[in-house]
Structure 1
């Protein structure tokens, strides 16, 4: 389904009818069933597309709409069913058996969550009636409203699957994403048709390398199968790299008398997100002078969603208004770091495949990109790397905000930064105010956006943790352990208080889930499970007293 027909069916007149009824019910003091706009676009059609669309567009009142929804649509997410992973075992691997009874009980619970997050299509997936994208294997979903496989979530889920001994499932997770690149030329934000117009932080190369390293020589997956995944992945990763580094995503920045090729996020749609149609239309309608036309606002919002940080003051001129986004003029620290690592990963895979020419080419790209990151993003005055915000003409730039957790991601490389930059960066993070009792806070700004203070997100804990370990210094490793211990204990204490694992946590108040954002806090939760298991394994279960 193209983005235009997708919007016409999912986000245009059908959503507009629902919006009218929603507003009417709110005025009457009644709750409309779609408090979350995503529910509607996750409802598979029972009728033909034309008939369902026509009947919904012609509905004149809430009773008519209710009748159409009952007769023509299935319930949200009914196109998926829960299933056990193919290699599931309830037995906790020895590497996860903690040193305390509380630790063992908690670890067993987290390990035991995988079957609840494993899904497959319920019957035949017809693109004319389903927004769900076909995948060759079972998928692991984050949880709650997130009823499909997501791109960067999958990286953190994969870490947990490998720790849990589910190597076959980890391979299937990777193969699902490789099939997306074959089909679309990139990995969509998630495996729904309405996500195809944007991607997410490109961590597929990390997944391929981690799968290869985690399974090679262990016998859980035959060596010829691992070799086959590498062979299949190499041209697809090269294709994804081309998608990420060309067109509007490519940016040339001048610094230190030298031109540097860098990348930015840039969504391929300029319309309301179908899964947040009502919210996006309201945002565009509330724009102010200087915010751009509605189409520009829609692209900015979709691009913020592509970054994974949806939403954060990091992207906004005015932290109270999403319509003030400037993300399409921002060159992000974390994205460029991930792409530099992607280039190094492609070089490794190419070398293994006997493609020394390709390996050398991508290794040089990685080195140049890391040099660019250090040349134009490093801020010696604050001891961190900072986003670049391009001016309106794109001829110059200023540095973005300080004390965002993403500013320390360039520590994550095979060798620490040259000179003493890594020591200054570690010291700056120690005193930044981001390292709190409940983990690493996303920022220092309390804005109500979910990617701001005081929320602690599992992905940032692991990525910054890895950077600190890569820094090569004792001080960095010690700080990495502090962040890991504080976050895992926060997750544990919140689990004891709520009985659930959550999407995000309050770094300032351990034992509390995180909040903010455009949807209610979610449980499950795939990337939290994966990161917690990985950190528990790394510290031999000693993080929970």
Structure 2
């Protein structure tokens, strides 16, 4: 090697070494500083989000760990940058492909990879703090109620009291009466759920919660969440939800409104059979033993909860919601019943506080007020809490929605007995075949057609068995027969026509027609009524339309709903809430209770349970052309012209 070449190699080596030394001493990118600078520039209203309401320049330059400079522009991309910074670890690099990801792909990806896990809970040593420590818990005592007969769980959690200073484990009595439930309303707590037990170790069976202040397992929410879980490859969680349903039926007598102490007397709309059927269809390899265990609980719930004469089974042969209980429902916001209670205070010639105290203590009896609260609890059991459609009348109604769901129970049970158990299934020494359940379904269909079908209008209506008349109010629940598959082709054609005429709005289906009391400026805006739309209604109607071959109509409703979710997420920092105003296509809903899922910093941790599921179902059904339009946020009214 000549002298000049040696010299060049030495110089090159020194340059490389010096460069490495500079790189080693180079100050690392501080993403916290980048986030602070981004917020300072773009979050002009100080809510720790970047939305269309912020007045910043909507343009931000930053240097990544690789030393590359990038310019991010526009509300959507800037809010994505904020979200990515919020979940970033210092050693990671901002991925521009995530910042500039197409909206529908980003939303769907986050639901699948992030939100479901953040919504998952378990009741065991590992999960107790997350389950018990929420806004509904007493700050000084975190109560966990254990079923009377579950000695394993009681022993396990009782031993944990020493490790959790605020934990109070309470064994429920053998018989749970409405008066007992009332007696613990001022001592609220979580009800235990299913678990596995091995080598003296208890491991809670996981469950998915709706999100926000709803930090417990809800009845019908759990089914709709499971639809999304199955789509996203989380059959493990859907199966776990079913096992928790079975535990509730076995130990509490019913699938609960939610696993809180004050819900012990109340169930929710029945969807357990749909869950079992969909788990089976999703995975035919699931064991017959597992399906058998769950199906026995489905039948037990059907017979012991829904077919109780004069409770939820009425003299018409059809069913109603009936929220058992005593006194004032305790879970409402303060002041919720003030208008009602004030009327009865005046009736009894007492000041408001004195009347409420004496009514709660049962020193004052008022049959009319008792009946009002029976209707109110029944409305809450229906899941539609609250709606002018059901207020002060719910317990008198054979509802289309409930009876459609029970028709589906009967046909689902028949399907599973025939396809899984060779048409021979035994429960408590009683043998069933598919024909037995199909005959029940046929009888229910006849009764629904006789009492609920309105030939003149071409719609099913709730039937008031007290006044012996149809309650002719437009509601999405009137169209559940499409989902349950109980209507004829002619009825389906009429239902589809009326559904689009009466309930379809720009952003999806409204829960009801406009049934508000416009004459009373103080009348509350009920959250399940017009102009609000809800995920379960959309999901059921999409499937109902597809059941009867209305593909184009289904695609339109899917697009309108997904567009509403996507546009709000794009404009408002990824927000995915509990419900939407489908007329104004906004998550800014000012009805009672506000809108869960809108309060967060930087990035929503979990969206909202059944809203997530509706998005995943919609994405799985929408065609490619509309998916492309969705990512461009094309206005639905420009696509679906009359």
Same fold by TM (over 0.5)?
yes
> Match for 1:501 among 558, 567, 576?
576
User: In 2, are the aligned partners of 1:494 and 1:513 still within 8 Å (CA)?
Assistant: no
Classify 1:390/1:209 alpha carbon distance in 2 versus 1 (closer, same or farther; 3 Å): same
CA distance in 2, matches of 1:237, 1:283: 40
Please give the secondary structure, in 1, of the residue aligned with 2:170: coil
Aligned to 2:192: 134
Please give the secondary structure, in 1, of the residue aligned with 2:122: strand
User: In 1, are the aligned partners of 2:242 and 2:294 still within 8 Å (CA)?
Assistant: no
Aligned to 1:488: 562
CA distance in 1, matches of 2:610, 2:571: 20
1:330 aligns with 2:397: yes
CA distance in 1, matches of 2:223, 2:442: 23
1:204 aligns with 2:272: yes
* Deviation of 1:238 (Å): 1.1
CA distance in 1, matches of 2:339, 2:406: 31
Aligned to 2:45: none
Please give the secondary structure, in 2, of the residue aligned with 1:127: strand
CA distance in 2, matches of 1:213, 1:228: 16
CA distance in 2, matches of 1:501, 1:419: 36
* Deviation of 1:169 (Å): 1.2
* Deviation of 1:280 (Å): 5.9
Aligned to 2:281: 213
Aligned to 2:40: none
Aligned to 2:220: 152
* Deviation of 1:277 (Å): 7.5
Aligned to 2:470: 399
Classify 1:511/1:315 alpha carbon distance in 2 versus 1 (closer, same or farther; 3 Å): closer
Aligned to 1:275: 331
> Match for 1:184 among 244, 249, 252?
252
Classify 1:159/1:471 alpha carbon distance in 2 versus 1 (closer, same or farther; 3 Å): same
> Where does the alignment leave 5 or more consecutive residues of structure 2 unmatched?
1-100, 129-156, 158-166, 172-186, 195-204, 348-365, 425-431, 517-524, 598-606, 632-642
1:454 aligns with 2:531: yes
Classify 1:402/1:274 alpha carbon distance in 2 versus 1 (closer, same or farther; 3 Å): closer
Bigger radius of gyration: 2
> Match for 2:508 among 439, 444, 467?
439
User: In 2, are the aligned partners of 1:270 and 1:296 still within 8 Å (CA)?
Assistant: no
1:117 aligns with 2:119: yes
Aligned to 2:319: 263
1:382 aligns with 2:454: no
Moved over 4 A (4+): 277-281
Aligned to 1:536: 619
> Where does the alignment leave 5 or more consecutive residues of structure 1 unmatched?
1-99, 218-222, 254-260, 317-324
Aligned to 1:12: none
Aligned to 2:360: none
Q: How many residues are paired up? A: 414
Aligned pairs for 1:69-148 within 5 A: 101-111=102-112, 112-121=114-123, 122-123=127-128, 124=157, 126-127=169-170, 131-136=189-194, 137-148=205-216
1:171 aligns with 2:171: no
Aligned to 2:308: 246
* Deviation of 1:525 (Å): 0.6
CA distance in 2, matches of 1:425, 1:478: 15
Aligned to 2:84: none
- What is the TM-score when the length of structure 1 is the normalising length? 0.72
